[in-house]
């Protein structure tokens, strides 16, 4: 895992944000979270044709004062009337959805815990503080990650700010105060390849790389090279097969020199035990089919679970007895 120690945050203008030097946390941020937040914001903006603040949960690992923020997922946040929260309303997080998502992630990534939440925009607002209180029931000191989509493209720093929470007494009431903290970027090999691909593709689409004539990333170059090599090999094999068929049908005369070269190519192929190859091949096919079947079963179970929740909710509103509802619990 590579760590970029030169990545720093910029100071916030919010008065409730503490001094950067006062924080003793060591925070490592994985680029996957930045990509998830950016994708979430861009998708909602494209779907609704307007800018809207988005929200999500942060998962990671914690060892004392060392935090590693690894992954994230979206959250359902509404206002007091059950509608999507806007910048003028007081947001309210769906804690039931949050706990359900955490249970599902725990089955796949048991080493990751809930460490905080993310949103978009500038410095923390009063609405962010009110929403932050909801997460105190899940984690005693949740982190806040904010991505500023209004940042200028010429900015040299990553437009991401991370805050830790300090409970302070304001006007006789315990109030969470956001203390901005420094962080470093930590990336696995797969993340570096993905970021390189996304960055180069984005530059090509926007025409920022050599007038838009350069072709994508290192990963795309490598895959395209392999594709061209396999395509050329397939075309050469087809030519040999067509020649042998033409000779067999006496459409072309027999050329023993060419046949000798073809036989030499065949002899260079590695000798394999067909029965052993078939056994391993069918085993891999069965494994792939089993994974696809498990995915289908999981999807069906999830649909059934949602159906049971909706049935119980409607039945409870109609005043159904618990004795009859127990079948669907």
Give the tens place of pLDDT for each residue, 137-169. 888 889 999 999 887 767 778 889 999 888 777
Tokens of 217: 């990333």
Beta bridge partners of 166: 177
Predicted TM-score (pTM) of this structure: 0.56
pLDDT band of 80, cuts 50, 70, 90: low
Of 75-89, 193-207, 295-309, highest mean pLDDT: 295-309
How far is Cα 160 from Cα 30, in angstroms, rounded to an integer?
12
Token duo for residue 299? 């999807």
Banded pLDDT at 128 (limits 50, 70, 90):
confident
Listed range (28-32, 98-102, 215-219) with the worst mean pLDDT = 215-219
User: pLDDT tens for residues 16-68?
Assistant: 555 554 567 889 998 889 889 988 998 888 888 888 889 999 999 998 889 99
Alpha helices in 136-273 (DSSP H): 189-206, 218-248, 256-268
Percentage of the chain beyond pLDDT 90 is: 19
Residue with tokens 């050469």: 236
Q: Bridge partners of 101? A: none
Residue 117: predicted pLDDT: 93
Compute the mean pLDDT over every residue in the chain, rounded to the nearest whole number. 79
The set of residues, in sequence order, having a beta carbon less than 8 Å from that of 9 and lying 6+ positions away, is 20, 157, 160, 161, 162, 180, 181, 182, 183
Q: What radius of gyration, in Å, describes the C-alpha atoms of the chain?
A: 29
User: CA triplet 302, 97, 325: central angle to 5 degrees?
Assistant: 60
Contact 155, 183 (CB under 8 A): no
Query: Mean pLDDT across the stretch 71-77?
Result: 91
Lowest mean pLDDT among 218-222, 242-246, 252-256: 218-222
Structure tokens at 28: 């490592």
Higher pLDDT, 22 or 193: 193
Tens-place pLDDT, residues 255-279: 889 889 888 888 877 766 677 778 8
- As a whole number of angstroms, the distance between CA 84 and CA 87 comes to 10
Tell me the per-residue pLDDT of 166-182, one tens digit each, with 9 for 90 and over.
877 777 777 778 888 88
């Amino acid at each position: 895992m590579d760590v970029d120690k030169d990545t720093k945050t910029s100071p916030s203008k919010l008065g409730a944000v503490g001094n950067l030097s006062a924080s003793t946390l060591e925070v490592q941020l994985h680029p996957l979270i930045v990509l998830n937040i950016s994708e979430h914001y861009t998708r909602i903006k494209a779907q609704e044709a307007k800018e809207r603040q988005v929200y999500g949960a942060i998962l990671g690992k914690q060892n004392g004062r060392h935090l590693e923020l690894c992954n994230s997922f979206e959250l359902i946040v509404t206002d007091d009337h059950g509608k999507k929260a806007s910048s003028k309303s007081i947001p309210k997080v769906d804690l039931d959805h949050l706990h359900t998502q955490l249970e599902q992630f725990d089955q796949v990534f048991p080493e990751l815990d809930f460490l905080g939440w993310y949103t978009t925009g500038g410095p923390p607002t009063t609405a962010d503080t009110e929403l932050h209180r909801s997460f105190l029931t899940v984690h005693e000191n949740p982190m806040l990650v904010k991505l500023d989509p209004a940042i200028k493209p010429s900015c040299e720093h990553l437009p991401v700010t991370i805050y830790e929470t300090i409970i302070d007494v304001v006007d006789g009431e315990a109030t969470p105060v956001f203390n901005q903290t420094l962080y470093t970027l930590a990336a696995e090999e797969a993340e570096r390849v993905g970021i390189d691909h996304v960055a180069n593709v984005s530059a090509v689409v926007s025409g920022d790389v050599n007038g838009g004539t350069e072709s994508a990333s290192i990963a795309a170059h490598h895959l395209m090279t392999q594709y061209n090599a396999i395509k050329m090999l397939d075309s050469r094999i087809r030519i040999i097969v067509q020649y042998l068929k033409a000779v067999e049908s006496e459409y072309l005369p027999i050329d023993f020199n060419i046949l000798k070269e073809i036989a030499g190519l065949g002899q260079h192929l590695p000798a394999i035990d067909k029965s052993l190859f078939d056994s391993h091949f069918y085993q891999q096919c069965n494994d792939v089919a089993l994974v696809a079947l498990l995915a289908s079963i999981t999807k069906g179970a999830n649909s059934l679970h949602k159906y049971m929740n909706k049935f119980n909710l409607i039945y409870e509103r109609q005043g159904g007895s618990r004795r009859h509802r127990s079948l669907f619990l």
